[in-house]
């Protein structure tokens, strides 16, 4: 039995930066977020020609994105930041990584940090998560839940078709992360 590798590469990359946003950027983000709350939709903030979509809510003080081919940016409020927590979290989109790789992610990161007016040193950056994917074409392949070696406490689910009992995906995770089924679909 043979399988063709269609693509392999990074599927996810999350960085944290131990820095704080400048006060002028904080003021702009605060005003844009208030506009997003008033309009009940995300509002765009442009800096040095780069559009940043500012959301009205998010996991940190400011939740921003650079489009579906860019990255998610989460900024802690420097006036109310928990000690030892990073000030900036950057989660790169899968499409950027699939088409441009790590080089495109680095270029996007540097371009955005410059546009945001946020100097940093390499020692302030931490890789907090990476995902690597291999897409294969193997029509004969059927995921087998019993073949997974799992740590204690990990949830394990199998996704089968009702009428044929054909297995489409096997999911094993602790935090309900991504799963990729045999059809090539990714769900979160």
pLDDT in the model for residue 44: 95
Give the SS3 label for residue 30: helix
pLDDT of 155 > 50? The answer is yes
pLDDT of 146 > 80? The answer is no
pLDDT in the model for residue 92: 95
Mean pLDDT within 155-176: 64
pLDDT of 164 > 50? The answer is yes
Distance CA 124, CA 110 (A): 13
**Tokens describing residue 82:** 């928990």
Q: What is the pLDDT of residues 99-144, one digit of tens each?
A: 999 999 999 999 999 999 999 999 999 999 998 888 888 888 777 7
Q: What is the pLDDT of residues 55-83, one digit of tens each?
A: 998 767 899 999 988 999 999 998 888 88
pLDDT in the model for residue 136: 85
pLDDT in the model for residue 188: 45
| DSSP-assigned letters across all residues of 95-142 | HHHHHHHHHHHHHHHHHHHHHTT----GGGEEEEEEEEEEEEE-TT--
Q: What does the mean pLDDT of the chain come to?
A: 84
Q: Look at the alpha carbons of 107, 117, 21, 122 in this order and tell me if their dihedral is positive or negative.
A: positive
Average the pLDDT over each of 23-32, 42-51, 149-158 and give the range with the smallest value: 149-158
pLDDT band at 171 (very low <50, low <70, confident <90, very high): low
* Sequence-separated (6 or more) residues with CB below 8 Å from residue 116: 21, 22, 25, 47
pLDDT band at 175 (very low <50, low <70, confident <90, very high): low
Asked if residue 28 lies in contact with residue 114, where contact means CB atoms within 8 angstroms, the answer is no
């Amino acid at each position: 039995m043979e399988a063709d590798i269609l693509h392999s590469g990074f599927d996810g990359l999350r960085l944290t930066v131990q820095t704080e946003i400048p006060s002028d950027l904080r003021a702009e983000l605060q005003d844009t977020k208030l506009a997003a709350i008033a309009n009940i939709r995300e509002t765009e903030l442009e800096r040095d020609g780069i559009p940043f979509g500012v959301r009205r809510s998010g996991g940190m003080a400011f939740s921003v994105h650079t489009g579906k081919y860019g990255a998610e940016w989460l900024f802690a409020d420097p006036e109310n930041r928990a000690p030892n927590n990073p000030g900036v979290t950057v989660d790169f989109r899968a499409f950027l990584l699939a088409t441009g790789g790590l080089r495109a992610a680095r270029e996007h990161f540097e371009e955005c940090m410059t546009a945001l007016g946020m100097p940093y040193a390499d020692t302030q950056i931490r890789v907090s998560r990476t995902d690597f994917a291999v897409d294969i074409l193997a029509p004969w392949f059927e995921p087998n839940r019993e073949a997974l070696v799992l740590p204690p406490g990990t949830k394990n689910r199998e996704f089968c078709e009702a009428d044929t009992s054909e297995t489409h995906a096997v999911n094993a995770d602790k935090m309900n992360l991504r799963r990729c089924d045999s059809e090539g679909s990714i769900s979160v």
